[in-house]
Amino acid sequence: MNIATTRGTTSRAMSLPNLLTYGRIAAIPVVVGCIYAQSILDQPLWLRWVAVALFIAAAVTDYLDGYYARIWNQQSAFGRMLDPIADKLLVASCLLMLAADGIIHGWSLWAAIVILCREILVSGLREYLAALRVSVPVTKLAKWKTTVQLVAIGFLLAGPAGDEVVPVVSMMGLVLLWASAIVTIYTGYDYFRAGIHHLIKEDEG
């Protein structure tokens, strides 16, 4: 690899869209740490608002990194690889922490399990299809699913702190989590069906 190529690769890795994605990943331990400190270590409720603020900022970067990558023509293979990973890390970490916190409990745990299993399924499917050089585009419904999912987690992160302001905050979060899980089943099946189609063609070939 020559110097020009190395500089070009480094420049793309340090572009603003990728920096926003790095920031989303960096926010994860802070969000989780705030909820852990408040719930497990019995620290003040205002830590939940810090977690919510950081989570909202991280969720906004999910939109901004793609937007700036398109308008500034800074799309890269590295960014396309890292962006969905950052999303999954953020969602999975928060769901696990909220389950440990007890905000997600009882039957609502099944909604979280469905969401996590779908993410694992789609990730594995994408990895296999990538080896076949088959691209599985993200559908509009999948994007809406992600939006509802992030809003639900935001409500649940606020939890008891939010309930002190509006008593139904936690309940709204759980309702949206179930709505997200239902859409998740549909979009997961959609991806699975597309993947099976390519797998059958590969076996026949």
3-class secondary structure for 84-130?
HHHHHHHHHHHHHHHHHHCCCCCCHHHHHHHHHHHHHHHHHHHHHHH
- Would you call 160 exposed, middle or buried from its count of C-beta atoms within 10 A (0-12, 13-18, 19+)? middle
The candidate with the shortest Cα–Cα distance to 160, out of 55, 56, 48, is: 48
In the prediction, which pLDDT does 70 show? 75
The three-state secondary structure class of 136 is: coil
Residue 9 lies in a domain: no
Residue 8 lies in a domain: no
CATH code, 114: 1.20.120.1760
In the prediction, which pLDDT does 98 show? 96
Dist. CA 17–CA 183, nearest whole Å: 28
Residue 91 lies in a domain: yes
The phi, psi pair for 136, rounded to 5°, reads -110, 100
Residue 5 lies in a domain: no
Considering Cα of 23, then 157, then 96, then 137, what sign does the dihedral take? Answer: negative
Per-residue confidence in pLDDT tens, the chain, 205 aa: 454 444 444 556 677 777 888 889 999 999 999 999 999 899 999 999 999 999 999 989 888 777 677 787 767 766 677 788 888 899 999 999 999 999 999 999 999 999 999 888 887 777 777 666 666 666 778 788 888 999 999 999 999 999 999 999 999 999 999 999 999 888 887 777 777 776 676 666 5
Residue 89 lies in a domain: yes
In the prediction, which pLDDT does 181 show? 94
Threshold 0.95, pTM exceeds: no
Residue 11 lies in a domain: no
In the prediction, which pLDDT does 49 show? 97
In the prediction, which pLDDT does 94 show? 95
In the prediction, which pLDDT does 131 show? 67
Number of domains comprising the chain: 1
Structural domain of 43: 16-204
